[in-house]
Structures are given as structure tokens and as C-alpha cells.
Chain A
């Protein structure tokens, strides 16, 4: 008896398995969306392509504001904005927004006093990292708020978006 029952349990019931898996997927989706809706860390269900740019429309910390590539370019042309590169120095040397300061996330503490005067003198501070997939620019922007009045801007499209748009890039160590 026991032997036959074990054998019947071991049989692969494809229909039942798929049905169970589908129920698990739907249950997870419902639970995930519901929890996300009420969670303080919740994100928009659908990312929105803001101002013609791809983007995830993820929430920004207080005092940090997302800036489009076009607005960043306008600020660059205006000359009164200060750009901060939040990638590692090696990436910075390979190509950065002309005039940008290098402030890798691991060196914010030591770099902040060195560049505080320039930061406070600038009309606007714009931080970028690699692209939408990185959050280092947001982390560095939050730290810059220690010396810069709100808001600090983040170019979400990053250096990848900047380069893809055909905007100017400079190689080598600069600031």
C-alpha cells in the first residue's frame, strides 16, 4: 500500500504543477503590488519616460531633484553650474563632463572640504554617475547637501546619456 502511494506521489502531474506555479506567480504579483502600494519605500509600478528620456521615475531623497539631459546641457552652456562626477577616478579619467569635479562615493568625506567653496559658489550643483542603473549620484548628492543648499540635482541619464546625446566630454584628470 505504502509503496504504491509513494509511487503515485512521485508521478509528474504536469497540469497540477503548472497550475500551482501560475497561482504562485499571481499571488506574488498581487502581494508585491499591494505591499509596494502601502510601503514607504514603494516605487511607481510603471517607470515613466520623462521628457523623452528613458527613466524609472524612482523616488529621490529630500533635497535631491532629478534633472533631464536637456536641462543639464542648458546649465552646462550657462557656465554657472558645477558638475560632480560620482564614479571611480579611473572612469572619470576615461571621460567626464568638462569641468566636472571627481567625487567617488568612497571619497566624499575627504573631497567635500576641498571643494566646498566651489560648491557653494555655484549657481547649481549637478551630480551624475554611469547611468540610470547606478545610484551613486544620488548617494553623493545627499552628502553634498551638507554644504550645498537644496536642491542638488542628479542627471539620471548619467554620463552614458550625456555621451549618447553627443554632448562634450573631456578625458584625463582635471579637478
Chain B
């Protein structure tokens, strides 16, 4: 299969729509419970022992909103590349947090699908899952698509 042909498949708007709905859906689904229970989420963040205790609450307040808003924008297709960049940044952050947590031997809940899967322990499988999701953000970044009607120019 030629590179151009592969690009035409991977960059197809239908593939973009699947990537956006999947990624955005995951972030809305995981962000909403954190948004409703900021105290529990702050504790979970503290467990990673990376952020200073003074900063944990602030991150715990803002991050769920960022997840939900970026997720929603991504699904609809509002600023799809910016939304993908935000979600890619969050995923990269999760990977770094997860990696540091694992190498330091922390026995904590990952909080990924908090609180529905609160007992899911932090492990390499979760880091790998986030790394795979990064490919989805790359698809949207390179071939942006949207459910919104195309804006007429001129």
C-alpha cells in the first residue's frame, strides 16, 4: 500500500469523526465525576506525590473542567485541533504522572476512570493506553474534521 493511499485512509473524515467522538467521549465521561467531586479528585492527585500540596486543589478544580470542555469541543468539532492539543497535553501529563508513580513504586488508584473504576491500580497498562490515545489526538491534529457545517469563505 502506498503512503498516499494510507494517508487517504487514516486522514479520512470518517476516521477523524471516530477519533474525535472516542477521545472526546472518554474525556467527558472521566471528567464529569471529577468535576462533581473535587475533594476526592484532589486527594487522588495528592496521592501521586508530584504536585506541591499547595497546588493540588487548584489543579483539582481546573483540570476536570478542561477535560470536559476540551472533550465536548472535540466531539462537536469546535476548534478541533486546539481541543486535540489540549487533550494531547493532558494525556502526556497522565503518562508522565503514571510513569513517575510506577517507577517510585506507588501503590495508588490511578483515578483514570474515577470514581467508577476507583480501584483500578496504577500500572503500565494504563500508561500504554494513554500512549495509544495520543495517536488519536495526532489524527485530529493533522486532519481536523468537524460535525459543524463548513464555513463559507469569501
Contacts and interface: CB of A to CB of B under 8 A. Distances in A.
Given A24-B70, A31-B69, A58 B144 contact: no
Interface string B135-150: 0000001111000001
A107 interface: no
Interface residues of A, number: 42
A133 interface: yes
B65 interface: yes
Interface in A34-54: 35-36, 41-49, 54
Interface residues of B, number: 40
A21 B144 contact: no
A41 B38 contact: yes
A130 B120 CA distance: 17
A161 to B, nearest CB: 12
B60 A43 contact: yes
B79 interface: yes
B61 A45 contact: yes
B40 A132 contact: no
Interface of A: 5, 9-10, 12-13, 16-21, 23-25, 27-29, 31-33, 35-36, 41-49, 54-59, 131-135
Given A24-B82, A36-B61, 4 more contacts: A31-B65, A32-B62, A56-B56, A133-B46
